[in-house]
Amino acid sequence: MGTAQLILLLIIGLTAGFVGGALGIGGGIVIVPALIYILHFTQHQAQGISLMVLLFPVGIFAVANYYRAGFIDWKVTLLLMFGVIIGGYFGSKVSIALPAATLQRIFGLFIVLIGIKMILGR
């Protein structure tokens, strides 16, 4: 791994961390596309790496800030965590079985649809 790639990875990580802390997003919206289009990873590799990054407590300081500000509902959080664990397991099984091109189209469509919904409002 060359110096340029190390610097790009650090920039991608810092960007994902900043966007994650500011907007509550990062992995799917920042890391996956950056790994694909800047560093030329496959869709499967990018998703796997993004999940691995999120596996560890990368957001602990951002969470601490939101907790101190009173924005963490533990009941909601624990229920979502349970769902994410189960859903993540089955979702990864489906994702791994899909061809990379299909997975990339589904990923892009999902981001576009969510973006349109957010722009147009509830």
Model pLDDT, residue 55: 75
**Percent of the residues in the chain that have a pLDDT greater than 90, as a whole number:** 54
Residue 76 backbone phi and psi in degrees, to 5: -60, -45
> Each residue of 19-75: pLDDT tens digit?
887 777 777 888 999 999 999 999 999 998 988 888 766 678 888 999 999 999 999
For helices 100-120 and 43-55, angle between their N-to-C axes, nearest 10 degrees = 60
8 φ/ψ sector (left φ>0, alpha ψ -120 to 50, else beta): alpha
Per the listing, tokens 């664990």 go with: 85
C-beta separation of 19 from 30 below 8 A: yes
C-beta separation of 63 from 72 below 8 A: yes
Total domains, the chain? 1
Counting runs of H as helices and runs of E as strands, what totals does the chain give?
6, 0
In the chain, what is the greatest distance between 2 CA atoms, to the nearest angstrom?
45
CA distance 44 to 67: 33
- Asked whether residue 11 carries a pLDDT value surpassing 90, the answer given is yes
Range(s) of the domain holding residue 54: 3-120
Model pLDDT, residue 10: 93
> Each residue of 72-118: pLDDT tens digit?
999 999 998 898 899 989 999 999 999 999 999 998 998 999 899 88
